[in-house]
């Protein structure tokens, strides 16, 4: 277990809450302290921490890896920040992109030609973890003269039956 400042602060908050609750039950300070000391880690790891993970949008981030991209399409969102921040795909031609990401999953709509354009490649990145997340992460690559000029991320609302 790694002791970080956030862990210590949150553990102290849980201890204080358990201490205040135990004071309403019994006024003996030594017994209240002892019970609070034992119950605080249990309350933290079995109540506070799981609820925090359900409602927070934290997820792991990874460096881009073409093999992981192909093998685990549901976890592609973990590589998104690395792709965007480092501009890994900007300037690459269609063959290079196809070798890294595979063929386009669908083509994007182009208002200029009023049809799906083969110069707008879209990829599904999966769903970020969370209790109430029903948005699918996606990325669109724009090509001009057979080179990636820009990429944009967006979310698609999904309904589950």
pLDDT tens sequence across 51-93 = 877 777 666 788 888 888 888 888 888 888 888 888 888 999 9
Integer Cα distance of 81 and 60 in angstroms? 11
107, part of any domain: yes
Residues 43 and 106 in one domain: no
Question: Given this model, what pLDDT does residue 160 score?
Answer: 67
Residues 138 and 79 in one domain: yes
Question: Given this model, what pLDDT does residue 120 score?
Answer: 92
Residues 123 and 72 in one domain: yes
Question: Given this model, what pLDDT does residue 28 score?
Answer: 85
Question: Given this model, what pLDDT does residue 33 score?
Answer: 79
Question: Given this model, what pLDDT does residue 64 score?
Answer: 86
Residues 151 and 75 in one domain: yes
Question: Given this model, what pLDDT does residue 78 score?
Answer: 87
Integer Cα distance of 77 and 125 in angstroms? 5
Task: Give percent above pLDDT 90 in the chain.
Answer: 9
Q: Kindly report the pTM of this predicted structure.
A: 0.65
Residues 130 and 81 in one domain: yes
Integer Cα distance of 115 and 87 in angstroms? 27
Residues 29 and 73 in one domain: no
20, part of any domain: yes
Integer Cα distance of 128 and 49 in angstroms? 19
Number of domains in the chain: 2
Integer Cα distance of 121 and 152 in angstroms? 11
Question: Given this model, what pLDDT does residue 149 score?
Answer: 92
31, part of any domain: yes
Question: Given this model, what pLDDT does residue 1 score?
Answer: 63
Condensed to tens digits (0 to 9), the pLDDT of residues 92-144 reads 999 999 998 888 888 888 778 888 888 899 998 888 877 777 788 899 999 99
Under 8 Å CB-to-CB from 90, ≥6 apart: which residues?
A: 148, 149, 150, 151
Q: Residue 108 — left, alpha, or beta (φ > 0 → left; ψ -120 to 50 → alpha)?
A: beta
| Domain interval for residue 142 | 66-157
60, part of any domain: no
pLDDT at 147 over 90: yes
Q: How confident is the model at residue 22 (pLDDT cuts 50, 70, 90)?
A: confident
Question: Given this model, what pLDDT does residue 140 score?
Answer: 92
């Amino acid at each position: 277990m790694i002791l970080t400042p956030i862990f210590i602060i949150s553990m102290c908050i849980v201890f204080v809450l358990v201490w205040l609750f135990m004071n309403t039950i019994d006024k003996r300070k030594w017994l209240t302290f002892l019970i609070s000391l034992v119950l605080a880690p249990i309350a933290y790891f079995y109540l506070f921490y799981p609820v925090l993970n359900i409602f927070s949008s934290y997820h792991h981030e990874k460096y881009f890896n073409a093999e992981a991209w192909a093998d685990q399409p549901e976890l592609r969102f973990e590589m998104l920040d690395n792709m965007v921040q480092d501009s890994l795909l900007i300037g690459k031609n269609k063959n290079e992109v196809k070798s890294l990401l595979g063929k386009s999953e669908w083509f994007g709509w182009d208002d200029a030609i009023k049809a799906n354009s083969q110069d707008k490649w879209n990829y599904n990145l999966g769903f970020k973890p969370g209790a109430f997340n029903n948005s699918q992460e996606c990325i669109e690559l724009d090509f001009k003269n057979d080179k990636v000029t820009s990429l944009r991320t967006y979310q698609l609302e999904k309904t589950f039956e």
